[in-house]
Each structure stands twice: as structure tokens, then as C-alpha cells.
Structure 1
Amino acid sequence: MSTSPATTPGSPSPASAPAPSRRRAVLARLTRLRNLPAWAFLGAGVLLGAGGGAVYGLVSPVTYTATAYVLAVPGKGGDPASALGFAQAYGRVATQLGVLGDAQVEARVPVATLRSTVTAETSPDAPMIAVGARSGDPEQAADSANAVARALVTAAGHNATDTRVSLVSFSRALAPSAPASPGVPLTSGVGACAGGLLGGLALLARPRRPLAGPAPLPAGALPAPAERKSAEPSRTSETAS
């Protein structure tokens, strides 16, 4: 028959024994963290940020962007102000299903792909529409931008008699030679800057060294002159009382 070991009244129980050791370990870690130099926080943040940015640049897919330009031209009886207004309107229509449905055959991609990769931008000063498309293949990016631009010109031509404004192709999209997505050097630099900022914040938030108070006077030592002067009024008041 086994018996459990007896515990004396002053000895800690087995359940509470690890608690002081854990506290001591935490205090030791905080002490080491407090004693680290400032450059350690900044250097670690820069290195970690640069490494994370480089990994992001390596694993992120390469994206190419191509842009085609369409110009709004006033017809017979129209005016430039109306051409500018209709350019704004057709810029909003360029990414709608009616235009993308006509462009999907020439672009050789589904409508859902065109809707997620094609954008249209207009200028408040010029009656021009910029149709951009992005893709992992530069040739596909150019084909998608040109297909949507031609479909938009065709859709505007159906209403040219009523609107007195037509769209013409101003510049076709070409296959880009360089990707639009950021490369590894750029992502590493951005990550290093972000890591340095976080390292600086960690440096500000680290535990501070405790301020050293005045050392206690040894037994029989005379107080400082300032302390003696402050003690004289109290003795004088006691004598007067």
C-alpha cells in the first residue's frame, strides 16, 4: 500500500511549486530584454522586415498591365462639352456586362475574368477613356484591353445618332515588357522600413531600467548640509513648544 509523501506546514505544495520558478524565468527574460542595446531592436526589425518582404516578392504572382485609350468625338450638331460628359458616362459602362460580354470572344477569356481584371479610368479635363487590363501573361493583358476598348467603341456607335457623340480608338494596347507587380528589391526595402518602424516601437515599449535611489547612509554618518539645514527648523519649533 503506497502512501503519499508528507508535507511539512512550511513547505510548498507540489501544485504551487512551479509557480515561483515560472516567475523567476519571466523576470529573467524581462531583465535580458531590458539590458539589450537599442541597435539590437532596430537591427532585428530591419532584418525580419527585409526577409518577409523578400519572401512576399518571391511568392507573389507576376502581373502585367496593358492600357488602351479611347477618345470621345462630338458628331454633327454636338459640342466638346457633351463629348466630355459622354466620355465620363462610357467610362462607367466599360466594365459592365453588356460590353464585357461582347469582348470575351476576342479576348478569349470568360466574362468573370474580364470583370476582375479590367478597369476604366476617365479624365475630368479630356474626353478620353483609359481601358486597362492586367494578367500574368503580357500578351493576354494587351488582348483583353484591346477587346474591351473595341467593344466599347461598337456599343457607343449604336447610340451615336441619339447622343451625337462617337468613340474612336486613340491608342491600342501593347504587350508590356516589364511587370507592374513590385519586384523583390522593392518589397525587401518596404519590409525593411516597416520592420525598422516596428523595432523602434518595441524599443520604446521595452521595460525600463529601475531608477537608482539614494544610497542609505551608514550608521553614525552625518547627514548632508542640506539635510542638516532642513532639520534645524524642526528642532527650533520643538524648543519653542
Structure 2
Amino acid sequence: MTPRTLPVRRLLGRLARRAARAGRPGRAWTVPAAVLAGAVAGGAYGLLSTPEYAATSYVVVVPGEGSDPAGAMGLAQAYGKVATDVALTGDAAVWARVSPATLRASVAAATSPDAPMISLTARSDRPETAAAMADGVARALVQKGAHTQASTRVRVVQFSRATTPTSPASPSAPLAALVGAAGGGLLGGLFLLVRPKRGTAAAGGAAADGGTAAEGGAPADGGGARGSAAGSGAGSGGRGAAVPGPAVKGASQAGTA
């Protein structure tokens, strides 16, 4: 490789790298593209997913005569934890006309921290089924409280029946699109944080080019210098120019002697 071909190869390599970078999308378009993709995905999910309805029924634990109100609070917490189990042992699934597995997966119980009240929320793709499941679990808790009233000295009373929902509780298409856009923007920002910067890659490529040129140019320059020295020695017609330095020195010493 001659010294003249090195700049040409470096120039071609830089042009190829710039062409490859020009084909990639800019960093400024990463976050907007991620936001748009997330909005489209969220909107499609909101449109294609089955709407879900939620209905809630409430029961309250009332302390009996001579019982401690704090005991009613503790029993309300206990009933809330075993609400679905109590409903499964009773006839709640039969009343709601669903399977026990569906009842367990669709009903969630929550207790109030400042009152002996339990909320029973059921979710279903049909509003009537959601209301029937919530009321069925509440009815099962009332029956359980009546069976254990002699030992616990508290009563479980249904405080409010579940009403049939008229609108779905699942997110609508605009809300799902908004959530998807926010998630897409977050992912796009994270991608920019973990992606290596172009300046660092360009500096590494320049350093590699410089190292290649230095390694390839030194032997060529040295060879050219040696060729120039040999040519000048041959043009001068000196006898000692064609032999190495130590031989010339030895020949000079022999002539002097």
C-alpha cells in the first residue's frame, strides 16, 4: 500500500460512515415516534378489548349488647380477608349463576380502617352478573355472621345492595390512548439514555483511523527515506555508499593504515 492511497481510503471510509448515519432516524424523532406508537397501541386496545363492569355491595359488622366496639373492628377485618372463601362455602356462586372459580377471580373485598365496614366489588363483562356476584358474596357473609353470632356477639348486616352499573369501569379508548402515549414517551426517553452517543462513536472511529494511518504510514515513510538515501548515494558515485555503515568505516580504517 503506497502513501498516496491512504488518504483516499480514509476519505472513502468516512463517506461510507456518514451515508450509513444519514439512513438512521435522528435522535430528535425517537421520543415523538415512541409517543405516537404508544398512543396507537393504547387506542387499539381500548377499542378492541371487551368492556368490564364493576358493582359494589357493602356490609357492616354491628357489635351486640355488652360487646366491645373494637372487637367489631377486628371481626370486620377478619371477615374481609375470608369473604371469598365464605362465599364459596355458601351458595353465592349459585345465586350469581357463575362458577366458583369465576366468583373467586372476580370479587375483591376491602375493609375500612376507621369503620367496621366491608366493601365487596365484583367485575364482569355483563353488568347484571357483576351486581349479582357482589350481592351474593354479601348475602353469604350475612349468613355466616348469623351462624356465629352466639360466639362472636356481633351481627353482620348488609348496609347497601349493589346497583347495576350503566357504564363500563374499564378505560375508554381515549384514556387508553393517553396512557399508551405516556408509556411510549417513557420508553423512548429510556432508549435515548441507554443508547451510545454518536460523538463517542465518531471519536472512536477517528482514533482508529489515525492509528491505522500511523501504523501504515511509518513503514512507507521509512522505506521512502531509505530509498532516497540509496538513490542519492548511487548518484554521487561514491563506493562506500552502497555498503552498510560499519563496512564503510572498516574500509576507511584499512585505507588509512
CA distance in 1: counterparts of 2:20 and 2:41, whole angstroms: 26
Q: Could you tell me how far 1:118 is from its partner in structure 2? A: 0.8
Which residue is 1:16 aligned to? Answer: none
The alignment partner of 2:189 has SS state of helix
Alignment match, 1:10: none
- How far has the Cα of 1:41 moved from its partner? 1.4
Amino acid of the structure 1 residue aligned with 2:198: R
| CA deviation map 1:197-238 (0-9, x unaligned) | 22233344254143699xxxxxxxxxxxxxxxxxxxxxxxxx
CA displacement at 1:155 relative to structure 2: 0.9
1:209-224 alignment runs, 5 A limit:
209=199, 210=202
The one-letter code matched in structure 1 to 2:87 is V
Tell me the equivalent position of 1:134: 123
TM-superposed deviation, 1:26: 8.8
Q: Residue 66 of structure 2 corresponds to which residue in structure 1?
A: 77
Write the distance in 2 (CA, Å) between the matches of 1:89 and 1:99. 14
Q: Residue in 2 aligned with 1:163? A: 152
Partner of 2:23: 32
CA contact (8 A) 2:87 2:136 kept: no
Q: Distance in 2 between matches of 1:29 and 1:62?
A: 47
The one-character-per-residue Cα deviations of 1:125-161 (angstroms, maximum 9, x if unpaired) are 1100101100001111011100110111011100101
Any gaps of 5 or more consecutive residues in structure 2?
1-14, 207-257
Question: RMSD across aligned C-alpha pairs, in angstroms?
Answer: 2.3
Give the superposition deviation at 1:31.
4.4
Amino acid at match of 1:135: S
Does the C-alpha gap of structure 1 residues 112 and 27 become closer, same or farther in structure 2, counting only changes over 3 Å?
farther
Map 1:31-180 to 2 at 5 A. 31-33=22-24, 36-96=25-85, 98-100=86-88, 101-180=90-169
Distance (whole Å) between structure 2 residues aligned to residue 26 and residue 131 of structure 1 = 63
The one of 199, 205, 214 equivalent to 2:188 is: 199
Which of the two has higher C-alpha Rg?
Answer: 2
The range that moved more, 150-159 or 53-62, is 53-62
Separation of aligned partners in 2, 1:201 and 1:124: 39
User: Match of 1:76, SS?
Assistant: coil
Give the TM-score of the pair, scaled to structure 2.
Answer: 0.67
User: Among the aligned pairs, what percent are the same residue?
Assistant: 53
Q: Aligned partners of 1:201, 1:123: CA distance in 2, in Å?
A: 39
Q: Which amino acid aligns with 2:23?
A: R
180, 198, 201: which is aligned to 1:208?
Answer: 198
Task: For residue 95 of structure 1, give the secondary structure of its aligned residue in structure 2.
Answer: helix
- Seen in structure 2, the aligned counterparts of structure 1 residues 164 and 43 have a Cα distance that, compared at 3 Å, is same
Q: How does 1:5-20 map to 2 (within 5 A)?
A: none
Mean Cα deviation higher: 130-139 or 203-212: 203-212
CA distance in structure 1 between the aligned counterparts of 2:147 and 2:198, rounded to whole angstroms: 74
User: Are the counterparts in 2 of residues 84 and 127 from structure 1 also a CA contact under 8 Å?
Assistant: yes
Rounded to whole Å, the distance in 2 between the matches of 1:94 and 1:27 is 66
Residues 49 and 188 in structure 1, CA contact (< 8 A), matched pair in contact too:
yes
